[in-house]
Amino acid sequence: KGVWPRSLGCMPEKMLKMQAYVSVMRFMDGKLHSESEMAKLASWCVAGCAAGLATTVAGCPAELLMVQAQTGNVSAREFFRQKGLRGIYQGASVTVWRDVSFNMAFFTSRQGFISLYRKQFAVEPVNSAKFALGVAAGMLAATVSCPLDVLKTRMQESESSWRSWPSLLMHLSRQEGVGALFRGLGPRCLAVPSMMSLFALLQETMEVYFFGETMLTL
């Protein structure tokens, strides 16, 4: 259930994410004119935040329709009939925080891991090594953003009446314990890191092929 809206929203979401990251990296590179570690870290963080914002634009509606179908057997047609277009960003307030934290953690740690690899082995990592480093970065990012993902799902459920994610956070922590905020972490770490690492590697490969350079691994 919910596979069609998620499948249709996945590619636009990833395209917006990657283009936002690369565009901001190019902008920051042109403004900072510095090779210092702090300048690189600032660029990675800002670009990661931009990628998260872009992700929410396309990803929130697709995930909402998926959750509605999975938790209440509500089709996309029924959802639009009930709530209209204005309802497609239900839960967006927490979704944007989840996406920003995830993407900032993912891109920053991936860049950091690749930089450490270069220093440790004095060579550019091959694609298989970059994929593995991306998976490690994805697992870190998935863990960091998991509580926000749980809150997002609870707010997007078909019977949910929650509109304030801080209130929902306090409610879950008190009623179900802090562990409730990490439910589903295992499946999340199995699916998300490998997918993100693959998309980043494909983006990088295409940039090098068409433009001779990439902004993903400076």
Range name among 133-147, 149-163, 194-208 with the lowest pLDDT average: 149-163
Residue 9 near residue 62 (C-beta atoms within 8 A): yes
Residue 2 pLDDT greater than 70, yes or no: no
Report how far apart, in Å, the C-alpha atoms of 213 and of each of 31, 47, 61 are. Answer: 18, 17, 33
Q: What pLDDT sits at residue 153?
A: 92
Burial environment of residue 179 by CB neighbours within 10 A (0 to 12, 13 to 18, 19 or more)? exposed
Residue 86 pLDDT greater than 80, yes or no: no
Residue 151 near residue 176 (C-beta atoms within 8 A): no
Q: What pLDDT sits at residue 161?
A: 82
| pLDDT tens column, 57-70 | 988 988 888 888 88
Q: Give CA–CA dist 98/25, Å, rounded.
A: 21
Mean pLDDT of 32-58: 88
Average of per-residue pLDDT values in the chain: 89
pLDDT tier for residue 183 given thresholds of 50, 70 and 90: very high
Please state the pTM of the whole predicted model: 0.90
Counting Cα atoms < 13 Å in the Cβ hemisphere of 130 gives 19
Q: Give CA–CA dist 102/208, Å, rounded.
A: 25
Residue 152 near residue 95 (C-beta atoms within 8 A): yes
Q: Could you tell me what percent of the chain has a pLDDT over 70?
A: 97
Residue 218 pLDDT greater than 70, yes or no: no
Identify the top-confidence range among 35-39, 80-84, 183-187: 183-187
